[in-house]
């Protein structure tokens, strides 16, 4: 849920200024052996596509209201580089990439970064302590699992002190203040991770969790942490997860505004899966949420997805193959259809390709099923280049337009990869089928081919 995910964008605090009274920040970037692809710089919630020359060189200049973080994102290399910008700075970055042997890695390239100029120690700190500066968790769950909450808190806070001791070596006072605030603000969320490391009771943790006001509408992130903790210790009966979730909201919270926030957020994702118990869960939601605007929006989704429950007919849409030939989903009726909705720019999508290859090999001679990959790339040439290089042994199509494409609009797809599964009569089996990399995927598919 969005309330307990501390997104990277929330930490990017830069704001662009229209003032011309100060010297702008300027960075010069050179990418060695540039392989083309979009280069994006993100400043706060603003995104700007950078045009590099054929040698991979570009300059970026901007005037800022305040110093802070930015992110340089190179799509081709699936690489994110945090940088620290402030007015008047001059810096030069040289980027070198080496392709990894593991083709399924979400980060297929190793980066070598050479930095010269102002604020190099800031950028070096963010890269060295990436987990602390880019909203990642510095402690993995297997480590937390080995200790009590009191010991976890002691050791984690010791790590915090260690990171801060390195931070004070950075020259920029503004950077030190910014990072100190971020690290301190993130401590409660990191400590709350103890709640779901294992299903275990710990009196010290229970006291810690109870010390926060979970009914504060301005602190939904903490409320989400507590709710997840409650649900782990009060699990739902099998098949009744959604009903249990809504009933639990009344048990955990007394503030209606907080209840509304979680109920309204949950129902949107729930409806888009068109589950069997759609009607019962939606009725319970309408009895719990008092947010009329959110309920009106949910009504629209409910009406749409009621028509896409398991056993209902799939919505048809158009797609094109590599040669430009037009097809419709209905052209493949007579076979079950396992469909991969993806894009060349999506790292997790590309990570599923080796597993799709295994599925394609397994079902190569099975006439009961068709495996289809449908790209939503806006740039058809990039898609053609990718499939020409990969030479996949299953059907490939494109439905261009990104999340505004026909397939995404029909099935309300807002994140990829997404896997759809229809039977031989074009009836819905699942709008959120397991991924090819999921354990038991072949057993899952075979069960629906009988």
In a structure prediction context, what are the per-residue pLDDT tens digits for the chain, which is 450 residues long? 444 343 444 444 444 444 456 799 999 999 998 877 678 898 877 888 888 888 889 999 999 888 988 989 887 788 888 999 999 999 999 999 888 877 656 677 888 999 999 999 999 998 888 777 555 677 888 888 889 999 999 999 999 999 999 999 999 999 999 999 989 988 888 898 888 777 678 899 999 988 989 999 998 988 998 998 889 888 899 889 999 999 999 999 999 999 999 999 999 888 887 787 889 999 999 999 999 999 999 999 899 888 888 888 888 999 999 999 999 999 999 999 999 999 998 888 999 999 999 999 999 999 999 999 999 999 899 999 999 998 999 999 999 888 899 999 888 888 899 999 999 999 999 988 999 999 899 999 999 987
Helices 120-128 and 149-167 cross at an angle (nearest 10°) of: 160
Domain end position, chosen among 276, 308, 340: 308
269 and 293 housed in the same domain:
yes
Identify whether residues 261 and 381 lie together within a single domain: no
181 with 263, same domain: the answer is no
Name the packing angle between helices 203-210 and 149-167 (round to 10°): 60
Confidence (pLDDT) at 14? 45
Q: Which three-class secondary structure state does DSSP give residue 334?
A: coil
Under a CB-based contact definition with an 8 Å cutoff, are residues 308 and 274 in contact?
yes
In terms of domains, do 158 and 251 share one?
no
CATH code for the domain in which residue 438 is found: 3.40.30.10
Whether the Cβ atoms of residue 4 and residue 189 lie closer than 8 Å to each other: yes
14 and 112 in a single domain? The answer is yes
CB 202 within 8 A of CB 152: no
Last residue of a domain, one of 133, 150, 177: 133
Q: Are 112 and 176 part of one and the same domain?
A: no
How far apart CA 72 and CA 448 sit, in angstroms, is 45
Report d(CA 21, CA 415) in Å as an integer. 42
- Final residue belonging to a domain, choices 92, 110, 133: 133
Residues 347 and 279 in one domain: no
Give alpha helix (H) positions in 26-148.
Answer: 120-128, 130-133, 141-144
Which residues constitute the domain of residue 386? 318-447
In this structure, is residue 99 part of a structural domain? yes
- Asked whether residue 265 is domain-assigned, the answer is yes
Whether the link from the prior residue into 158 is cis, omega within 30° of 0, is no
Q: How far are the Cα atoms of 6, 9, 265 from residue 279, in angstroms, in the given order? A: 32, 36, 17
- Residue 22, number of CB atoms within 10 A of its CB: 13
Strands (E) located in 329-407? 336-342, 369-375, 395-398
In a domain, 207, yes or no: no
pLDDT recorded at residue 104: 59
Is the domain of 327 the same as that of 421?
yes
> Exposed, middle or buried, 3 (CB in 10 Å: 0-12/13-18/19+)?
middle
Which burial class, exposed, middle or buried, applies to 336 when counting CB atoms under 10 A from its CB (0-12, 13-18, 19+)? buried
Domain membership flag for residue 112: yes
Q: Strands 395-398, 369-375: parallel, antiparallel or unpaired by DSSP?
A: parallel
CB 125 within 8 A of CB 179: yes
Residues 91 and 51 in one domain: yes
> Is position 228 within any domain?
no
Residue 112: name the closest of 77, 137, 68, 158 by CA: 77
Q: Looking at the domain assignment, is residue 208 inside a domain?
A: no
Q: Which of 74, 98, 70 is nearest to 83 (CA)?
A: 70
442 and 325 both lie in a single domain: yes
265 plus 328 within the same structural domain:
no
Task: Annotate 283-314 with b (16+ C-beta within 10 A) or e (fewer).
Answer: ebbeebbebeebbeebeebbebbeebbbeeeb
- Are 345 and 423 members of one domain? yes
Considering its fold, how many domains does the chain have in total?
Answer: 4
Helices and strands (H and E) in the chain: how many: 17, 17
Model pLDDT, residue 135: 55
Domain assignment present for 210? no
Domain membership of residue 203 (yes or no) is: no
């Amino acid at each position: 849920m969005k309330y307990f995910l501390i997104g990277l964008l929330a930490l990017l605090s830069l704001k662009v200024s229209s003032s011309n009274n100060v010297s702008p920040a300027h960075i010069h970037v050179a990418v060695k052996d540039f392989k083309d692809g979009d280069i994006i710089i993100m400043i706060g919630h603003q995104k700007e596509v950078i045009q590099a020359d054929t040698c991979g060189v570009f300059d970026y200049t901007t005037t800022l209201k305040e110093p802070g973080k930015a992110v340089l994102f190179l799509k081709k290399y699936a690489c994110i580089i945090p940088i620290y910008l402030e007015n008047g700075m001059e810096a030069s970055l040289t980027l070198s990439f080496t392709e990894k042997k593991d083709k399924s890695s979400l980060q297929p390239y190793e980066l070598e970064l050479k930095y010269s100029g102002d604020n190099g120690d800031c950028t070096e700190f963010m890269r060295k302590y990436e987990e602390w500066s880019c909203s990642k968790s510095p402690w993995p769950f297997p480590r937390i699992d080995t200790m009590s909450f009191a010991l976890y808190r002691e050791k984690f806070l010791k790590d915090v002190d260690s990171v801060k001791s390195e931070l004070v070596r950075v020259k920029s006072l503004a950077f030190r203040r910014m990072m100190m605030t971020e690290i301190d603000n993130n401590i409660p969320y990191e400590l709350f991770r103890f709640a779901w490391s294992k299903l275990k009771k710990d009196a010290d943790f229970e006291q810690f969790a109870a010390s926060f006001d979970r009914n504060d509408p301005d602190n939904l992130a903490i409320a989400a942490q507590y709710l997840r903790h409650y649900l782990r210790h009060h699990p739902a009966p099998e098949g009744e997860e959604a009903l249990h979730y809504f009933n639990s909201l009344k048990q955990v919270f007394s503030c209606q505004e907080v209840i509304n926030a979680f109920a309204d957020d949950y129902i949107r994702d729930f409806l888009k899966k068109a589950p069997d118990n759609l009607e019962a869960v939606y009725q319970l939601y309408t009895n719990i949420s008092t947010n009329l605007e959110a309920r009106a929006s949910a009504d629209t989704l409910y009406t749409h997805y009621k028509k896409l429950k398991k056993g209902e007919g799939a919505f048809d849409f158009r797609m094109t193959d590599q040669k430009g030939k037009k097809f419709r989903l209905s052209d493949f009726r007579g076979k079950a259809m396992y469909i991969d909705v993806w894009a060349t720019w999506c790292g997790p999508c590309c990570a599923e390709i080796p597993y799709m290859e295994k599925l394609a090999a397994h079902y190569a001679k099975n006439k009961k099923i068709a495996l289809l990959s449908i790209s939503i790339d806006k740039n058809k040439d990039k898609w053609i280049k990718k499939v020409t290089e990969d030479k996949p042994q299953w059907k490939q199509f494109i439905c261009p337009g990104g999340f505004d494409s026909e397939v995404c609009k029909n099935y309300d797809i807002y994140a990829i990869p997404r896997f759809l599964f229809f039977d031989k009569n074009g009836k819905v089996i699942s709008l959120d089928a397991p991924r090819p990399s999921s354990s038991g995927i072949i057993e899952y598919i075979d069960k629906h081919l009988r």
